[in-house]
Amino acid sequence: MRPFQTMNLSRQSEPLYRELAAVLREDVQRMSPGDYLPGEMQLAARFSVNRHTLRRAVDELVLEGRLLRRQGKGTQVLARPLVYPVEAGSAFSQSLSALGHRVEARLIENLRRTATSEECRHLQLPEGSELIELATLRLLEGQPLSLIRHRFCASLAPLLADYQGGSLRQYLAERDLPLARTFSLIGARLPSREEAAHLLMPRHAPLLSVLTLSRDPAGRAVELAQSSSRADRFQYQVAT
């Protein structure tokens, strides 16, 4: 890791913490993803500022998605947001693995519940139908990136019974149920408390929300997925 340079801050044109953030931003760009910043006391002494000013400067870079505070470890440099191509047959884990990234999909919840009216409409189910909901947490290089809730008709429970993690799209394809996206609705919002906890993000930072409907080769609606991804770590590319 290239060492930080000591620089004189003007304290004139704009708030001191923003000047410091600009200096840190340049240094972080020369660091490698996964590197850690020096400790707070060391940086504060190097720039001749108090720790409150330093923290505000670091906060700027955290909100930009350049840094991640890791409890008990320090402040880590993040990779720049990656681009994920949204295509009919693309699978999250497989697409990112093909780009050389270490991707992990953890199953964190498996439940059966009554479908909402919207879910029944998308999945072409009678009102009051039961569905299976699987929640998976996607990690990139060990860091949480997306929380995805997959909804299926309850009749698919036997097929999904053995799923314990990994690419759900690949799991289904291996069981003769290949799926293709036929509808995606992309939006942005603030995370819920649960989403913020799973994705290790502040509740005032935005996330990307994508509602996706996938069908089988016969055109039947099979999966309705709601993904919530850190907007500072993820970008969607829609093919035209």
Token pair listed for 38: 């020096």
Query: What pLDDT is recorded for position 1?
Result: 43
Query: What pLDDT is recorded for position 78?
Result: 77
Query: What pLDDT is recorded for position 2?
Result: 47
Angle at 209 between CA 110 and CA 142, to 5 degrees: 65
Q: Is the pLDDT of residue 228 over 50?
A: yes
Question: pLDDT for 143-185, tens place per residue?
Answer: 888 999 999 999 999 999 999 999 999 999 999 999 999 988 9
Query: What pLDDT is recorded for position 10?
Result: 53
Q: Is the pLDDT of residue 11 over 60?
A: no
Task: Report all structural domains of the chain as residue ranges with CATH numbers, in order of start.
Answer: 16-77 (1.10.10.10), 82-238 (3.40.1410.10)
DSSP H/E element including 53? helix 51-63
Query: What pLDDT is recorded for position 194?
Result: 94
Query: What pLDDT is recorded for position 24?
Result: 93
Kindly write down the DSSP assignment for every residue of 174-228, as one continuous string: TTT---EEEEEEEEEEPPPHHHHHHHT--TTS-EEEEEEEEE-TT--EEEEEEEE
Question: pLDDT for 108-130, tens place per residue?
Answer: 999 999 999 999 999 999 999 99
Q: Is the pLDDT of residue 237 over 60?
A: yes
Rounded Cα gap, residues 115 and 132, in angstroms: 9
Token pair listed for 8: 């004189």
Question: pLDDT for 65-113, tens place per residue?
Answer: 788 888 888 998 876 666 666 665 566 666 666 666 688 999 999 999 9
Taking the CB of residue 162, how many other CB atoms lie within 10 A of it? 8
User: pLDDT class for 239, splitting at 50, 70, 90?
Assistant: low
